[in-house]
Amino acid sequence: MTSTPATAPSFNLATASKVYTNLSVDELIQLAVERGEGQLAANGAFSARTGKYTGRTPKDKFVVRDEHTANKIWWENNQAMDPETFEKLFAKAQAYAAGKELFVVDTFGGASKDHRVSARFIVEKAWHALFVKQLLVRPTAAELSDYEPQWTIVDMSMLLADPATDKTRTEAVIALNFTTHQVVIMGTQYAGEMKKTVFTILNYILPLRNILGMHCSANIGPQGDTALFFGLSGTGKTTLSADPSRHLIGDDEHGWNEEGVFNFEGGCYAKCIRLSKEGEPQIYNAIRRGAVLENVVLNADGTPDFNNDSLTENTRAAYPIEFIDGAVIPSIGGHPKNIMFLTADAFGVLPPISKLTRDQAMFHFLNGYTAKVAGTEAGVKEPQATFSTCFGAPFLPLPAKVYAEMLGEKMDRHNAAVWLINTGWTGGPYGVGNRMSLAHTRAIVEATLAGALDNVACETDPIFGLSIPVSCPGVPSEVLNPRKTWAKPAEYDAKAKELLAMFEANYNSLQAGRTVAGAEG
């Protein structure tokens, strides 16, 4: 990868009143507390609130369209911005930064030294600097001594865009310029925008090298077998990959090259609503000094109230991967033996486990299905199907077929088995049925990775055509076939056909080149 082109205007740090460069974790925590950006929780984690935006705002994300990108970008999935508008936004951020204290954090995106990108962050909040330091790959002292940024990511989170003059949709904007290797973020304090920006950059660069970017978690077993877990927010990627019996490679973003799988990040970003030490001990124990909590309400004694969703359901914890016991360092594994597509089906009709053929795998990968439930978003009164192509449409700059064809080719070449796992509802839709037991889901994953389902007898679902195992260690047989869990099978049939029609309509729209970036955390 080349460094930032000489023609691109650099961000002038000389106008700032003070610049803090690559501070330590303790120094950043101290400054964040002193500056009133949040408070320390009783467990030592730094707790911050993100204001109006408690999640990403994908509709405010733009990609610069110019002669270099016009014929490469998937424009049906990415909003275009002209170069002049980007330059004005960059200049606006530059003017705003004059006289302010700024923080510079030098990072890498990618655990593979051969395929990483160097990304310099310039931010106005100490806790944002702490976040990116913990979430991205941290350069060694030797690497920092001759560090040259290939990308500059400027996040002036308190600066509001003006739609009338800045040509933005709202006061928030995330603008990427793939030609000048620059990003401008303003108007949102949600830190996840920064890490997803690096993911988007890698999803543009790496496929040109025949390296697949994937929105998935990954772990490796005692026998060296790598497993991938694809899924949208809330489907269980982080939870299921943080397995004490296996070693974590990463919880959210990976590349698949000729050698195997490598993590894009140096940390984890766990959704922590209703987190408990009993249910998810590795994640719970990782939230300590050096971790960042977003929008988690603290009790009077400073302990996090992980059950409190008064600010948002999308409460988050960010921490370095080393905080997970047994994590793989460096975060690299071999070619995956098993690939799992996770979905939280709120309609309650998908089986808890099914083995996919290659064609079915492509169908479900392109659909990228999960479901929103009542209460998680304003206006959602009943389950709503959500489709996010390749389980991460907002982060795909290139056409979907680029990623899908690459996944199919790698699956074939390395003989990877693909499974669909429903972590959502059973016995009826949301409000009638029950959420899948986490213990049952863990047992299913354990059996799958152990090879216990490779040769088990299966029955074919007549509506979706899925192969459903008739038995699984640790799981009651009646749970495995969703139709048998409904009180009225005819109602199951009707709801299943309804969901299948949604699948087919979304898939057909993709084939016709029509799509919108699905919601994702």
Of 54, 233, 467, 485, the active-site residue reads 233
Write down the catalytic residue from 252, 354, 440, 485: 252
Q: What does the pLDDT average to over 377-395?
A: 80
C-alpha span between 227 and 216 (Å, rounded): 10
The arithmetic mean of pLDDT across residues 29-54, rounded, is 98
Mean pLDDT for 335-361 is: 97
Please identify which residue in the block is written with the tokens 């077998």: 225
- Of 125, 237, 372, 495, the catalytic one is 237
Residue 274 has, within 13 A of its CA and on its CB side, a CA count of 6
Query: Annotated catalytic residue: which of 4, 56, 57, 246?
Result: 56
Condensed to tens digits (0 to 9), the pLDDT of residues 501-511 reads 999 999 998 88
From the list 321, 344, 187, 137, the residue with the least C-alpha distance to 242 is: 321
Q: Which residues does residue 372 pair with via DSSP β-bridges, in sequence order?
A: 384
Q: Does domain 16-38+56-210 have CATH number 3.40.449.10?
A: yes
Annotated catalytic residue within 195, 271, 316, 495: 316
**Whether the Cβ atoms of residue 346 and residue 434 lie closer than 8 Å to each other:** no
Return d(Cα 293, Cα 48) in angstroms, integer.
Answer: 6
DSSP code, position 15 = G
336-511, CATH topology level: Phosphoenolpyruvate Carboxykinase; domain 3 (3.90.228)
**Number of residues written out for the chain:** 521
Helix (H, G, I), strand (E, B) or coil at 278: coil
> Could you tell me if 173 and 160 are in contact, meaning their C-beta atoms sit under 8 angstroms apart?
no
Which residue type sits at 334?
A: G
State yes or no: is 237 an active-site residue.
yes
Asked whether the bond before 330 is cis by omega within 30 degrees of 0, the reply is yes
Domain residue ranges of the chain, discontinuous segments joined by +: 16-38+56-210, 336-511
Choose the catalytic residue: 65, 115, 116, 215: 215
Q: Express each pLDDT in 363-377 by its tens digit.
A: 999 999 999 864 444
Judge whether 423 and 236 are in contact, CB under 8 Å.
yes
How many other β-carbons are positioned within 10 Å of the β-carbon of residue 364?
23
Tell me the pTM.
0.93
| Gap between the Cα atoms of 342 and 344, Å rounded | 7
* Contact status, residue 127 vs residue 36, Cβ threshold 8 Å: no
Residues 129-173 have pLDDT tens digits of 999 999 999 999 999 999 999 999 999 999 999 999 999 999 999
Instruction: Give the pair of three-digit tokens for residue 73.
Output: 């970008």
Task: Examine the pLDDT at 517 and tell me if it is beyond 60.
Answer: no
User: Considering 138, 196, 246, 440, which one is annotated as catalytic?
Assistant: 196
Can 215 be counted among the known catalytic residues?
A: yes
* Active-site residue (options: 54, 226, 238, 312): 238
- Is 196 part of the annotated catalytic residue set? yes
Q: Which pLDDT value is given to residue 233?
A: 83
Asked if residue 341 lies in contact with residue 267, where contact means CB atoms within 8 angstroms, the answer is no
pLDDT tens digits, 204-225: 999 999 999 999 999 999 999 9
Q: Is 167 tagged catalytic?
A: no
Lowest-confidence segment of 4-13, 122-131, 198-207, 292-301 by average pLDDT: 4-13
What DSSP string runs through 283-348?
HHHH-SBTBEEESPPBPTTS-B-TT--SS-S--EEEEEGGGSTT--SS-EE--EEEEEEEE--TTS
